[in-house]
Each structure stands twice: as C-alpha cells, then as structure tokens.
Amino acid sequence: MKWLVTGASGFLGRHVVDAALARGHSVRALLRPVSATPSEWESDPRIEVVRGDLRARGSGEAMAEGVDGVIHLAAAKEGDLYEQFSGTVLATENLIEAMRAQGVERMVLAGSFAVYEYLDLPRMSLLDETTPLAIDPAVRDEYCQTKLVQERLVRRAADEAGWHCVILRPGVIFGSENLWNGRVGFAAGGRWWVCTGSGSVLPVAYVENCAEAFVNAAEYQGERGTQTFNVIDDELPTHRSYLREMRRSSGGGARIIPLPWPVMQTLAAAAALVNRLFFKGTAKLPGLLVPARVHARCRPMRYSNARIKEVLGWAPRCDWRAGIARSTGHGVDA
Amino acid sequence: MCDLSPALAEFTAERFGVPNWFTDYRAMLDAEDVDVVHVLTPPATHQRIVADSLESGCHVIVEKPVALSNADFHALWALSQSRHKMLVENHNYRFNAPVRKLESLVADGTLGKVEEIEVRMALDIRSGGRYADRNLPHPSHQLPAGVIHEFISHLVYLFLHFVPEDQRDSVESVRAAWRNEGGGELFKYDSLDAVLIAGAVHGRLRFSSRQWPDALAVTVRGSRGVASAELFHPVLQLTKQRGGSKHLTPLVNALGQSATLFRSGFGSIWSKIRNRTAYEGLDLFLRQTYEALASGSKPPVGFDDMDRTSRVIDALLARENRL
C-alpha cells in the first residue's frame, strides 16, 4: 500500500517511514518547504518526497492524490495557542478536506496521552483507552487543547464518512533525538537533575516500537469507524530509574535530586489554595504549581497496553533499557 | 463568531460561550442581529470586511491599521458617516497605565513644553515565531511596509498623542529609512528609523528586530523634564526640575528613579503572576468605546486620531530610504 506520511522527517516520522518500508509499503513523505530531505531517502525509489505546508488552505489535495491512506504525524508542540492551533488543528482540517476531495478513506492519527484527565482520577488509577478526556483543557496547556480538538475533528470526519480510522495515543516517545522529557524533571545548573515525581511510573514508548505500532494500525483491517489505542511499552520505568539509566548509558555525572510526588502534590495544592483565596484563581503560576498540570506530568498511575496488543497484534520488541542504550549509541540490536 | 476555519470558529465559540459560529462573515451579518463588529483579521482584509459591516448597519471596531492608506481610510469613514455608525481603530497602547501616567505628566505641566518625542519598539521577530516562518510566510510580509506595517500604527499614534493638539496637523520633514538588516527574501523590512517634525516638536520613530530586550518605550522630553514610559515591562521613569537646591536635583532624581526601578522589578513578577500583559490597555479602550456607543458620545479614538495616523504612515512609506 502507498501511504502519505505527514511530519515524515520528524523524530517519529523517520522511524515510521522506515517501519512502513520494512513491511513492504511505499511512502509519500510530506516535508515542509524548507525542511531538509534525509539523505538516505534521495536514492530510495520507495519514497516519494512531496513538499507543502498543511496549514495553507487547499495545500493537501495534490498530496493525497493516489494514496491508499494517510499516517498523520504532523503537529505543533511549541508556540502559543495560535501557533499550535494552526500547526495541529488547521493542518488536520486541511488534510481532512484533501482526503475527502481525493476519496482517501484510511487514516492513522498520532494522538497523545495529553488528552486524558488526570486530576480528577482516583488514586493509582489505571490509565487506558476508557479513561475520561481532559475535563478542563484550558487549565492544562495549549498542546492538550489542540490535540483534543484535532482528535474530535478526525473522529467526526471518519465517523461521518465511514473511514477506517485509528487514533494511536503514544505515551512518552523516546529515542536518540528525544531522551529528555518534561515529565521526568529538569536540569539545574548542569550538575543536577531534579527528578519530578521520582517514584511515579513513566509511560514510555521507545520510538522504534512506536513506529511499528503505527504500521500495525495502518494495516488494521477492522470495521469502519474510529478505533483508539494507547501505545506504551511492556515494562515501564519509574521517573527516577529512567533518569538513572539515561545517566549510566550516556556516561554523564549529573546528580539526581528526587522530588517525590507527595511533596509536589502538596506544593501544588497549597499554591492552588493561595490562588483561590487571594486571587480568585486568576493568578498565573509556573506549571509545577498548577495541580492539573502537575498531575498530568507526575501523578503515580498504572498503565495498560493490553488493547493494542490484543486488537492490533502489536508487540514492543525493544525494552526501555535497550531503547536508552540504542539511543545513546551503546546498544545492540534488540 | 466567524473564521474561515470551521474548527477555529467552533473552538472559539465554545471557549467564549457564543451560541453560533460562521465561516462566512457575510452570512453572519445576514443571519444575526449584530450591533458591533470587531474586525480582527489580517490588515489586507480590513477594507472589504469593514465596508460590508458598515453597509449592514453595524458599528465597527477594527484592529490597526484600519486601512492600508489614508485614502482608503477616508472611504471607510465616509461610509460610516453615511450610515451613522461608529468606526473605531484599536489604539490599545494609548490606554496602558505607563502611557496614561505620561499623559498626566504632560497635562499637568511637569515636563513643561513638549520638545521631543521618541517611540521605540524592539521585537525579536526574526529568530522565530510566526513572522520568521519560511514554510508558510505570514500574510503581513505582503503589506506595503512588510511586517512592520503590523506595528507602525502603534509608533505613529503614540507619537501623535503627545504632540500638542494644535500641532498634530503640521507633521512635516518626514524622513524614513526602511531597511532589511537581517537580509534574505522573507522580510521586506525588519528595521525602521524615521524622524519627523510636528510644529515645534521633533520626533523619532524606531522599530528594530535585532535588539534585546523586547521593548516599547515612549520618551517625552520637555522644557522642564523628561519622562519615559516602557510598556512591555511597565515602568515610568521621570527626571524633572525639583524645588530646593539645584545641586541636589540630580541626587533626588536618581533616588526617585532607583525607587521606581526597584518597584518595577517586583512589579514585573507581580504582573506575570496576575497574568497582566502588554495588552492591558485593551480593556480600557474597549470599555470606553462601548460606553461611547451606549451614550452616543465621542469614542476614545476618533476621526482625527485615525486620519492623522494613516496620513503619517503614508508619509513614512512615501519616503523609503531617503534618510
């Protein structure tokens, strides 16, 4: 099959292209006008590179011509609401229009764990596909808001037209270009790593495992309509063990300062109380002092990948330790 | 609520509790009983949307610039008068607290006779963000002054606001250097350095995208003192003649400025916590505009403000690279 892959030259996109080719598919890779073409693609006849920016109205029509389906990875993760809405939602809106115009009826969308509710869940809840979506996205962040709207758009379009649509919500995707993430903590002064929610489980998905999940989803031959799956590896580290392994594998000497969840929870709750009492909730505080954001990043939870394994037959082949080793150049093939 | 994107229109309507949303503003004007239209679209679209809104019998509050030339503004104004509707351009920075404090210093004579006004804006728009995006160039790049056209109104109306009323129509000797200091094809201009004289008041307007930190400052120099209002990190600094020994005046002024800077340092953090941004003047501008609409009185930004602003912008554009 021939797949249009948006965000193809991005961190996940390159691995998805590799995984799709390895399964015998061909790829039309959408690159933004000034993005560099990966050198290994230039002589590969299975990859057709097209250039365009999905934020421009009507831009996607030619791109979607003649493909069997779309693997939609492009999204904006940075910038203000205007920029993220444009890069995530408007791009998807234009892509959907292009798919309708070209009669393309298959889509795999890269969703996100950011869409789930965390604050209102019972203690040590199991987060799976049945977990409610964020109740008040505006108090979270722009990414949460725009990914929710994006999912709603895709689900609506797919259900109205009876597309084969799979929404994959990966946890924390990590790999060589992306080992750090906001959940595990932050570097302080170069010699210290503050590990936020140190004992909490980190729902990781090694990028190569994740890429294979996207190809499994593309090949899924289930009923028409929208299916949703979470993508996380089998064995999951704690925030602290992830940082330790990262430090060990990279040979770094930073000292890890654990900031346990009860401390973070108490600080955020106290800040929220002060905000409510003295500022009627209007004060703008750092993310680590906003309960909805802290819970989304660090709350101790349980996670399951049972549904994707059962329905899509996906099996992560590389565990998180091997993933870190490969990402830091010390690993061997899993 | 209207936007070309259904997703954005729906999202915004949900966020603000607006029951209906549209993707065609003409359909919205036909379907809804609209009293006031806020036009927040890119500048090049203002002429058509403002005219259609006025034709539909609506008052219009429009983002700057109201039109791309003084002649276009006059056409819109004539239409608004023929329909007995209000047309108001957003001059939001005039209503920020530091500018209002500066106003009072000029009004009460603290600065004496105004002699010189400098308006300086520094915005790092080249190193990232929507204006530097080469994948999908921002529509402002197509404007006569390029991206600076988005900001030039602020510089001009702030300058004119501090020129004595009887001299605002006598702007002359306009010289302007429009430059693309950063090079490349995307930006038409990223720098403006202009001088102009209004009656006896000398002015300088400066826009730069290569300075740190970002700033929007209005400095007024008069016969009895100088005051500078900074809007992005709100503070008003004042040097003035003081009673007592003139030998102590520098010391008293320095102590006063130190106290102001100390307060503004904490004030910046406080503003962040209270979520107050440089758009704080917008609330007051809109409140006064709606009060004027309700009472039938003059709006806070009137014909003369808009006419003079667009005339000076025309003059600046007519003198590209002749400084």
Over residues B117-127, the pLDDT tens digits come to 999 999 999 99
Counting as low any pLDDT under 50, the low residues of chain B are: 322-323
Q: With CB atoms and an 8 Å threshold, state whether B135 touches A34.
A: yes
Q: Is any Cβ of chain A less than 8 angstroms from the Cβ of B21? A: no
Give the Cα separation of B233 and B235 in Å (integer).
6
User: Cα separation of B157 and B74, whole Å?
Assistant: 17
Mean pLDDT (chain B) is 94
Across the beta sheet with B87-89, the strand order is B36-39, B59-62, B87-89
Q: Do B274 and A138 touch (CB under 8 A)?
A: no
CB contact under 8 A, B8 and A89: yes
Name the residue facing A32 among B4, B130, B135 (closest C-beta): B135
Structure tokens at B34: 């609209």
Structure ipTM: 0.91
CB contact under 8 Å between A90 and B134, yes or no, is no
Kindly write down the DSSP assignment for every residue of B102-157, as one continuous string.
Answer: HHHHHHTTTT-SEEEEEEEEE---SSSSGGG-SSS--GGGGSTTGGGGGTHHHHHH
What are the structural domains, with CATH classification, of chain B? 6-92 (3.40.50.720), 94-282+314-318 (3.30.360.10)
3-state secondary structure of A152: helix
- Structural domains for chain A: 2-186+203-236+302-327 (3.40.50.720)
pLDDT value, residue B304:
98
Rg (CA), chain B: 21
Q: What angle do CA A83, B65, B40 make, to 5 degrees?
A: 45
Residues in B closer than 8 angstroms to A32, CB to CB, are 135
Question: What pLDDT shows up at residue A332?
Answer: 46
Nearest in space to A96 (alpha carbons), one of A81, A109, A84: A109
Tens-binned pLDDT, residue by residue, of chain A (334 aa): 999 999 999 999 999 999 999 999 999 999 999 999 999 998 999 999 999 999 999 888 889 999 999 999 999 999 999 999 999 999 999 999 999 999 999 999 999 999 999 999 998 999 999 999 999 999 999 999 999 999 999 999 999 999 999 999 999 999 998 999 989 999 988 789 999 999 999 999 999 999 999 999 999 999 899 999 999 999 999 999 999 999 999 887 789 999 999 999 999 999 999 999 999 998 999 999 999 999 999 999 999 999 999 999 999 999 999 999 999 986 544 3
B228 neighbors B185 (Cβ within 8 angstroms): no
Closest Cα in chain A, distance from residue B129 (Å): 7
CA–CA min distance B138, chain A (Å): 11
Let me know: does A299 contact A269? Beta carbons within 8 Å: no
CA atoms within 13 A on the CB side of B127: 9
In eight-state DSSP terms, residue A2 is: E
Among B4, B8, B135, most A C-beta atoms within 10 A, so best to mutate, is B135
Measured between beta carbons, the chain B residues lying within 8 angstroms of A34 are 134-135
**B269 CB near a chain A CB, below 8 Å?**
no
- Among residues A146, A144, A90, which one has the least CA distance to residue A119? A144
Is the separation of the CB atoms in A208 and A175 below 8 Å? Answer: yes
Q: What is the dihedral of CA A50, A54, A57, A58, to 10 degrees?
A: 30
Q: What is the model's pLDDT at position B323?
A: 40
**b/e for A52-90, b at 16 or more Cβ within 10 A?**
bbbbeeebbbebbeebebbbbbbbbeebeeebbbbbbbb
Q: Confirm if A229 and A217 have CB atoms less than 8 A apart.
A: yes
Q: Does A299 touch chain B (CB under 8 A)?
A: no
Cα gap A107→A66, rounded to integer Å? 14
Structure tokens at A145: 């808001």
Summarize pLDDT for B238-259 with one digit per residue, the tens.
999 887 777 888 888 899 889 9
